[in-house]
Amino acid sequence: MKHLLSQLHELEKKLRGGAILLLDYDGTLTPIVKSPELAALPSNTRKLLRSLVRHFKVAIISGRSLADVKRLVKLKGVHYVGNHGLEISGPKAKLVKREAKRTRPVIAEICGKLRERLERIEGVIVEDKGLTASVHYRLVRRELLVDLKKIFEWVVKPYIASGAIRVTRGKKIFEIKPSIEWDKGKAVLWIINVIDPKGKLTPIYMGDDQTDEDAFLALKHRGITVLISEKPKKTHAKFFLKNVDEVETFLRKLSEIKGRV
């Protein structure tokens, strides 16, 4: 896996026909923070994205709800993908997976049980995002993690067994999703087809978490996939950047490249 900033010359050749920027939010455009409500988009990053929208098609991909990621980014002319691809909104694009909408009551029920059972564990955050849910435990003391995981597994086990939901793990987080054949990879292919049905643009996908691996895999033979990680890890991505600062550096370089092609 190559460092993306060392490949800018080769990248410039691929971008002659244009590009679609597909950018994860948490951990890519903003640093991972202790609590999800603290992940505000820096004003300089918003300004940079606004300038990139003039030259590229841009989509923001997030595990957050669609309303939440729109509220945080606040840019027009951008496609927004929320809840790991279960809801999409943007210019000439709108999608909400109907199968996921039917699971809303189940997600709400699970969140209610988790809040009740995890009440004594300080620092845990149960986030009901409508179509999915997240249990954040970054603020939980280490000695309480075993109990937290046991309670979590006890609550979700019957729902997994019934086929109603599936659970994935991320950075200090459990993700609860409807048990349907849909993920960030399928969502990215869907939105690329809407934006670029003739396949002339180069997709550039950037993400930092396990859920982004579905998108890396979906774009394995098409486009540029970039893992954001300080440490080497097993991934389907072709390139890497170390952190959010390097993402910003790359986006600035991208803006300069577009001015030359």
Residues forming the active site: 24
User: Sign of torsion, CA 18 10 235 232?
Assistant: negative
